[in-house]
Structure 1
């Protein structure tokens, strides 16, 4: 399946999900979702810059409100990859982020790497960890091999 086809399929799925929840796909919602589909992970400011290339009149307040609404509908999720602004992605994008606190490099790992920890937390504490979109801080392989 080519990228354009899968992108259109994802757009249609998101449109249908909004419709099922009694919402309509406004131009602003479409622009924000399209930006996230293209960028995959983006801060509100990055989404705004992407959207403004096509529609310069959309402001950052609209982006924040739209992201908040879409997150409330579970269409997008946010993760804090560091000390800056949250990073948003389309909800179906589920993985663990491994963030190097030295160089800032981010590696995506399947959420299955957290299965054992999730089981341990459930058995020991009755706690259900949401590991579907998580960021873990540490040192990447390259930085670990460098002398400080």
Structure 2
């Protein structure tokens, strides 16, 4: 598979942004190549994911968020304020072991999003 200039720009944008929606990637790419449109970005992201160079996760109800393959962690997404924190995948090792023993299911927690309520939002609720 040939790495076209557009694909390289998309990959570079994902690397630079860390986590990005396709729209954010498109805006970054258009800063260099104004003729690249959102359809090209989506196609490039799909191909780059098939090649194992990027991965996506859903941090909520919006568009997927992309990052480079070696960027591995668990996202903690607050469904109240929208804040997203990151924790090491190892925090789910015990759960992964329990799932493997109980269900034979091998958990891939390398780029996962969990939703809940962050510390700040919980603190605000408790003080009401």
| TM-score category (smaller protein) | over 0.9
Summarize the alignment of residues 49-68 of structure 1 with structure 2, pairs less than 5 Å apart.
49-68=27-46
**TM superposition shift of 1:108:** 0.6
Distance (Å, rounded) in 1 between the aligned partners of 2:3 and 2:16: 18
Report runs of 4+ in structure 1 exceeding 2 Å deviation.
Answer: none
Distance (Å, rounded) in 2 between the aligned partners of 1:117 and 1:52: 42
Residue in 2 that maps onto 1:18 = none
Name stretches of at least 5 consecutive residues in structure 1 with no aligned partner. 1-22
Residue in 2 that maps onto 1:41 = 19
Structure of greater relative contact order (alpha carbons < 8 Å, 6+ residues apart): 2
**3-state SS, counterpart of residue 31 of structure 2:** helix
Counterpart pick for 1:141 among 100, 104, 119: 119
> Scaled by the length of structure 1, what TM-score is found?
0.83
Considering fraction of residues, name the structure with more helix.
1
Distance (Å, rounded) in 2 between the aligned partners of 1:141 and 1:51: 35
**TM superposition shift of 1:24:** 2.9
CA RMSD, Structure 1 to Structure 2 (Å)? 0.8
> Scaled by the length of structure 2, what TM-score is found?
0.96
Distance (Å, rounded) in 2 between the aligned partners of 1:75 and 1:114: 24
Name stretches of at least 5 consecutive residues in structure 2 with no aligned partner. none
